[in-house]
Amino acid sequence: MKNLYNTKKAKDLDDLELRVYTSRLLGANSDLVLHGGGNTSVKIGATLYVKGSGWDLATIEKEGFSPVKTIELIKLLDYERLSDSDMVKYQREALVEKDAPNPSIEAILHALIPYKFVDHTHADAIVTISNSNRGEELIKELYSDYLIVPYVMPGFLLSKMVYNMTELIDWDSIKGIILHNHGIFTFSNSAKESYDNMIDAVNVANKFIRESKKKKEHDLSKIKELISKAKGYDVVMRVNQSATAKRFATKEDMALTQKGVLTPEHIIRTKRVPIVFEEDYEKELERYIQDYTEYFERHTTGEEIMLNPAPNWAVLKDFGTVSFGKDEKEAKVIEDINNHTMKAMIDAKRFGGYKSISEQDSFYMEYWELEQMKLKNR
């Protein structure tokens, strides 16, 4: 995201004019705010000029900022609860100019933050990460120098939560506030620095998202080493990056990897499911072997001897597939079976999804004496 601040244009502006200028910079970017979203403020003396309800940051004028007595807003935080109607009423009572628009619902929070300029947006990139299944973990990693606030309704509830979280905080120790599933606040005693912090923070998220889209690289030599060790012999690998294999390895189709075989007799070649390699190969292989061992223990009658639990093929996330064999011929057989299996699984999605034989039936087939004889006699 480009920083649009122009030092020459901002050179001779007073504080409120600066507030209008940087507010418009934020409002002009739809990746930050949409259709009246977001809010900004500036403290001038004892008065907080905060975006008025109904105004759009992209086109806001000086008249769009509601002048409110800062101390009167902060006093509202003494309440344990405050209804929306009471909050609006008390905020209007705190107006310096009674014909001004209603102050933003975030006016109390703007008053609480002890900096001259405060910017608040609903940046798409940050909310995208926050709204993911790993959102809490990722936001914490990416924004270690920000106060991170769990989702709560905007307005008084949010202001009260931040008030409680910052009672003992050194505000100089944080660069801003991340609101889960909501957005971000940045602030400074400088209009430029507050705006810069916003753009920098959003670009952290943009960079993370951009890098996550890059083609996944896998260490094939490491995979070969681990599988060879688990198998007890030096495996031959066949790497498959066909269009079908690449699609099968995407997030959208990854669940298909655990659906089972195409036809029962394939199981002696491929095992019931492949291993999925993403990042930590050693742990993923350890988990696969443990899962296979538990699968054997669930279904054994006590007469079977467990086969080598290492996988016969692998799905490498965002890359493709790899088949493992004692020799080129075996690896090629496994790859051929996988190609037909993957295509059938993907095609079956159009008919409501893919369903193989049960786990128990798979076990009986895998350990059926007549099937095992095929491997011994090949």
Number of domains the chain contains: 2
Residue 2 lies in a domain: no
pLDDT of 99-115, one tens digit each?
A: 999 999 999 999 999 99
In terms of Cα–Cα distance, which of 248, 227, 245, 244 is closest to 236?
Answer: 227
How much is the pLDDT for 215?
Answer: 57
Q: Could you tell me the CA-to-CA distances from 332 to 14, 18, 246, 270, 301 in Å, in that order? A: 74, 68, 18, 11, 33
Cα distance between residue 283 and residue 330, in whole Å: 26
377 has pLDDT over 70: no
Structural domain boundaries enclosing 105: 7-212
How much is the pLDDT for 374?
Answer: 57
Give yes or no: residues 243 and 310 share one domain.
Answer: yes
pLDDT of 109-147, one tens digit each?
A: 999 999 999 999 999 999 999 999 989 999 999 999 999
288 has pLDDT over 60: yes
Residue 319 lies in a domain: yes
CATH of the domain at 312: 3.40.225.10
Give yes or no: residues 123 and 257 share one domain.
Answer: no
Give yes or no: residues 176 and 235 share one domain.
Answer: no
Q: Which of 163, 190, 212 is the last residue of a domain?
A: 212
Give yes or no: residues 199 and 273 share one domain.
Answer: no
Give yes or no: residues 188 and 134 share one domain.
Answer: yes
Q: Which of 181, 212, 243 is the last residue of a domain?
A: 212
pTM of the predicted model as reported, rounded to 2 decimal places: 0.63
Q: Which of 165, 182, 212 is the last residue of a domain?
A: 212
Give yes or no: residues 192 and 325 share one domain.
Answer: no
In terms of Cα–Cα distance, which of 101, 107, 99, 106 is closest to 53?
Answer: 101
Give yes or no: residues 27 and 151 share one domain.
Answer: yes
Give yes or no: residues 120 and 230 share one domain.
Answer: no
Give yes or no: residues 345 and 362 share one domain.
Answer: yes
The pairing of beta strand 117-121 with beta strand 275-277: unpaired
Burial class of residue 169 in the structure, from the number of CB atoms within 10 Å of its CB (0-12 exposed, 13-18 middle, 19+ buried): exposed
With b meaning 16 or more CB within 10 Å and e meaning fewer, what string describes 137-167? ebbeebbeebbbbeebebbbebbbbbbeebe
Q: What number is the average pLDDT over the span 337-365?
A: 93
